[in-house]
Structure 1
């Protein structure tokens, strides 16, 4: 060791012979384990794993489709009274049936078939706007939406459109209606409505009129025709 000089200190220094001191072991980095797979084997392993996951997902998707198909078949076997004509002229969805609490079965007046989303409806402000309009103007506003539903339906629902046009003709003789303008927000809601929804809207805007009653009777007639056809087919 080099010579050290201590002055005015209470530190005790013990000199150790360097030759007798035990050297501290130097730490070594961990040894990396050799890769068991070559890059090609690793890529093949990843490919096989993804392929297995894809097969499992396809099996799960297939089982879900089969379950959905079975549920649709069960709905068709046990249709409620309000389900006939689904989705164009059926009634509103049955809330109790969604929670498996509807005990009326085929006598239920609401639809037991699955609906994609909540049925569209006008809000209070939109309904109040339509009630202020002349009746002929409101009926003319419904014509293009009813015509689209009738043309896109597999049912013979042309009578509903004929009733609407006849009512417009009769009312136009006694009063002149202004040019029909459908507000954008109201038009978006009416465009999403089914034929039954449009008739229900007419009943809401014209509650004390005979025309909505005629439209509702025609829908009930169509539902009875479909019901009778299904019973004959199953029988």
Structure 2
């Protein structure tokens, strides 16, 4: 290596003290060292290949369906995109459904969402109550969902002074036409997403609905069997009013 130095107003190239010919600077390492490194790399490759042939990925969760699959196909959550492609790493902790859905997730159009969010709370709950009653009757789920229906009816009764006229209710049903094709699970999700609905009421509905979903399985729902999610001897088995006498009253909103 050389450097430029200023000597008497002139620049002069001065060789450095550790300068050596280019041939020596680029001289390769001894052949023996390279062979030893290649041999070490080959050994590591053989070990990796041997281990990879017998290695099996072990998931960190137990066997079972995901949380979002409870109550499939009527009460479950939206389908999990990752599970569809076999790449969901949450397993039972996933809040989306991992079971087969023969129809895509139903959605409201932008106009329907705007109309829904502009409605008063009483009209929103009346609309959802109408659809919930039809689904529950069709699927014969009156017994498991009796508490959900009771708290919705209680909230509607509380808002009775704000109850809309009959023509307004029929207009609301027509404005949100796609709700007719929603499953029970999707209807409850829509209730929870409405900003004008009371927050404490939504929390109670979510808790009750989740407890019902956990007590149901795919076979029972698909065959329209009425699985009882409440254990024997539980006061919830008889009537929603027993909730109150048992000290587990339905909250006031």
Interval containing the TM-score (normalised by the shorter chain): 0.5 to 0.7
Counterpart of 1:198 in structure 2 is 187
What is the RMSD computed on CA atoms of the aligned residues?
2.4
After TM superposition, give the deviation of residue 191 of structure 1 in Å.
1.2
Cα 1:190–1:217, aligned 2, differ >3 Å: closer, same or farther?
Answer: same
- Residues 178-202 of structure 1 show CA distances to partners (whole Å, capped at 9, x for unaligned) of 3212353622x11111111111111
1:177 aligns with 2:164: yes
| Residue correspondence of structure 1 range 70-89 to structure 2 within 5 A | 78-89=64-75
| Residue 226, structure 1, aligned to residue 216, structure 2 | yes
Provide the rounded CA distance (Å) in 2 between the counterparts of 1:86 and 1:110.
Answer: 11
SS of the residue 2:176 aligns to: helix
Closer, same or farther: CA 207–119 of 1 in aligned 2, 3 Å: farther
> Structure 2 matches for 1:42-61, cutoff 5 A?
none
Higher strand share: 2
> Structure 2: which 5+ residue stretches go unaligned?
1-62, 218-227, 230-253
> Structure 1 length normalisation: TM-score?
0.58
Among 188, 206, 211, which residue is 1:216 paired with? Answer: 206
2:90 corresponds to? 104
**1:66-124: CA deviations, max 9, x gaps?**
xxxxxxxxxxx731121110112111110000011012222211101111121111122
Q: Which residue of 2 aligns with 1:144?
A: 130
Q: What is the number of residues matched between the two proteins?
A: 152
- Name structure 1 gaps, 5 residues minimum: 1-76, 231-235
Q: Which has the larger radius of gyration?
A: 1
